[in-house]
Amino acid sequence: MKLVLGRDDLAAAAESAVREAGTEPERLDISPVHKASRGFVNESAADLCEVAIATVLQAVDRGKPVLLLPVTTLGRHQHQTLVTLGKLSVADIEGHSVGVRSWSQTTGVWMRGFLTDQYGVDLREANWTTYEGSHVDGADEPSWVRRAPDGAKLQADFLEGRLDFGIMGNGLPSDDRIRTAIDNAHETAEQWSKDQGFIPVNHVVGVSERAATEHSAAVLAAYDAMKSVLTAEAEPGPVPLHPVGFEALRGAFTKAAAYALEQGVIERAVAYDEIVERSCVALGVTPARLGG
């Protein structure tokens, strides 16, 4: 069974559990981990793979054989990911240029959702530029979004002033000129999660439909092992950064799916219960077995 997980502790736990369940694991070394998503979704190049929430939603939307194993591998606040170099603020988004790696990047989905929900921004009134396509074949960006020329880089365009704003998480460059476009972004993010009752999750674990059907015991063992790692110590804050189980992830998936639909990231409404049912049918379990 081929595994792609960015965190060494989760990977070690999953590998050990899969082996004990009678299936030989192989951890694929792909970094950054999001580069594994395209092969996993479109070619089943891995059996169990760390993927972004938006990738799961697009895969379900497009009928790809991708299922959710409800484990959060990357949970973080997102309001601080909208950055600028000048004196502009979130109130100035309309009429200005904004760059994001991909329209379907989960960080961008969350941030654009905050812009519409909290700040009343009309997304079509901003000048959006993306730098790569979706991880899911056939998923296109809206017609009102511009693709940067070949060879262009988000970080360079931002730092050299060709973009007024950038949405960047792990790819944020180190530069003392950079500041968050939202005042008190971290405090705002913490309050948003407290009000919503969940964290805006980025990465979860996906499993191929074939692996779930043919190696269900190994997949369930991997889930149990990763859950044990993530729940071994209580996390700080009013809501957990790494929720585990179907019910624990319901809020984040439901909100992300609503944002994705209104932004044109997915073409149809994807109900969370549909995602849960697909996983349970393939694994031959009830939702309760996976925290449902």
**Mean confidence (pLDDT) of the chain:** 95
**pLDDT for 238:** 78
Calculate what percentage of the chain has a pLDDT beyond 70.
99
Lowest-confidence segment of 30-34, 63-67, 68-72, 233-237 by average pLDDT: 233-237
216-235 tens-digit pLDDT? 999 999 999 999 999 987 67
What does the pLDDT read at residue 124? Answer: 97
**Residue 55 near residue 217 (C-beta atoms within 8 A):** no
Q: What is the mean pLDDT of residues 165-183?
A: 89
Tell me the pTM.
Answer: 0.95
Q: What is the pLDDT of residues 122-159, one digit of tens each?
A: 999 999 999 998 889 888 899 999 999 999 999 999 99
Sign of CA dihedral 197, 203, 204, 208: positive
Burial 71-96 (b: 16+ CB within 10 A, else e): bbbbbbbbbbbbbbbeeebbebbeee
Instruction: Report the pLDDT value the prediction gives residue 234, as an integer from 0 to 100.
Output: 64
